[in-house]
Amino acid sequence: MRGPVGQEQPASSGASSHARTATQASPKEATGPETALIAIYQTDQARISAVGSVTLTMLGAGITYLVATAPFARSLAETLAKQFPRSDWVPGTFLASLPLLLFIIAAYHSLLTLEAIFRTVSARAIEVELVSAAGLDQKKARFGAGASDHVLDLRQQPIPFKLATGIAYGGVVLIVAVYAVAMLIMSVHYIHEGAWIPIAIYSVLTVLIVQSWLYGLAKAQKAQDAAYLDSEKSQALNN
Give the model confidence (pLDDT) of 33-76 as tens digits. 778 888 888 888 888 888 889 988 998 999 999 999 999 999 99
Residue 130: is it exposed, middle or buried by C-beta count within 10 angstroms (0-12/13-18/19+)? middle
Residue 24 in any domain: the answer is no
Cβ-contact 123, 55 below 8 angstroms = no
Residue 20 in any domain: the answer is no
Residue 12 in any domain: the answer is no
Residue 185 in any domain: the answer is yes
Residue 10 in any domain: the answer is no
pLDDT interval class at 183 (50, 70, 90): very high
Inter-CA distances, 169 with 109, 114, 172, 211, 213, Å: 12, 14, 5, 16, 12
Residue 16 in any domain: the answer is no
- Cα–Cα nearest to 220, from 122, 105, 109: 122
Cβ-contact 112, 55 below 8 angstroms = yes
Q: Which amino acid would we find at residue 109?
A: H
Does residue 181 have a pLDDT over 90? yes
Domain hosting residue 145, numbered range: 31-238
Residue 111 in any domain: the answer is yes
Indicate the number of domains in the chain.
1
Residue 117 in any domain: the answer is yes
Q: What is the pTM of this model?
A: 0.74
